[in-house]
Amino acid sequence: MTDTTIAIIGGTGLTSLNGLEITRREVMHTPFGEPSGPLTFGRLSGHDVVFLARHGYRHTIPPHCVNYRANLWALHHAGVERVIAVAAVGGITPEMRPCRIVFPDQIVDYTWSRSHTFFEEDLTHVTHIDFTEPYCQALREVFIASARDIGLDAVEQATYAATQGPRLESRAEINRLERDGCDLVGMTGMPETALARELGLCYATCAVVANWAAGRGEGEITMEEVGENVTKAMTDVRALLETVIPRL
């Protein structure tokens, strides 16, 4: 595997990557439209990586407007084989406290009306991808081992609920997600995770708990608290990435 096969999709709080020595930026046009921004090629911890800010480099694209197909297609077209997806989430179950890093192993899709598949026209090949294990286990294992080695108190298994947004959830909705077995809630996990699988990419999520989900903390959820917690946790995310990348 060549170095250029690793991509990092940055979410809220990670619109740029400290320590990334940028070598070039490439504007890509895809059959599915424009990605969230140019692909940023560079070196991190001595390895070639491609970075893309999911919500745009100025954080202007809300979760339901992200062109997930264009983003994944562009990365695949650039030769990427492994994708590290960083995503801010709300914590539902008691372990999922703000600022904690979590590596989900399952996902439930509550999104609607998003362009969620590449299989729309050419139906001559298999369109029903297996999704029993939605995340790349090999990549998850590298996350888990790296987190342990740097002494990060990460959660190694969790179920991610992908909601439509852009509004946050009601307390009753969060109660329902918990009854469904979900530990975390975020707005970008789907269709990104499934599209990656359709393209045969090895994809795993490093979730960053930004807030207690609705009804799980005190009072209302504010964007200030989300921003502050994500900013705090980014130090851990960067340390993790610097350990993970050389091991891939």
* 134-153 binders of ligand HPA (CB under 6 A): none
Of residues 66, 59, 51, 49, the one with CA closest to residue 12: 59
Residue nearest to ligand HPA (CB): 90
Determine the number of helices (DSSP H) and then strands (DSSP E) in the chain: 5, 10
Considering the complex, what minimum distance in angstroms separates the CB of residue 134 from ligand HPA?
18
Contact between 185 and ligand HPA (CB under 6 A)? yes
User: In the chain, which residue ranges form alpha helices assigned H by DSSP?
Assistant: 68-77, 137-149, 171-179, 189-198, 223-244
Indicate the residue type of 48.
D
Q: Directed axis angle between helix 189-198 and helix 68-77, to 10°? A: 40
Near ligand HPA by CB under 6 A: residue from 88, 101, 204, 241: 88
- SS3 label, residue 204: strand
Contact between 168 and ligand HPA (CB under 6 A)? yes
Classify strands 184-186 and 159-162 as parallel, antiparallel or unpaired.
parallel
For ligand HPA (CB under 6 A), the number of binding residues is 14
Near ligand HPA by CB under 6 A: residue from 37, 98, 134, 186: 186
Contact between 90 and ligand HPA (CB under 6 A)? yes
Q: Directed axis angle between helix 137-149 and helix 223-244, to 10°? A: 90
* 39-78 binders of ligand HPA (CB under 6 A): none
Considering the complex, what minimum distance in angstroms separates the CB of residue 215 from ligand HPA?
10
Considering the complex, what minimum distance in angstroms separates the CB of residue 38 from ligand HPA?
25
Binding site for ligand HPA (CB under 6 A): 88-90, 163, 168-169, 185-187, 210-211, 213, 221, 226
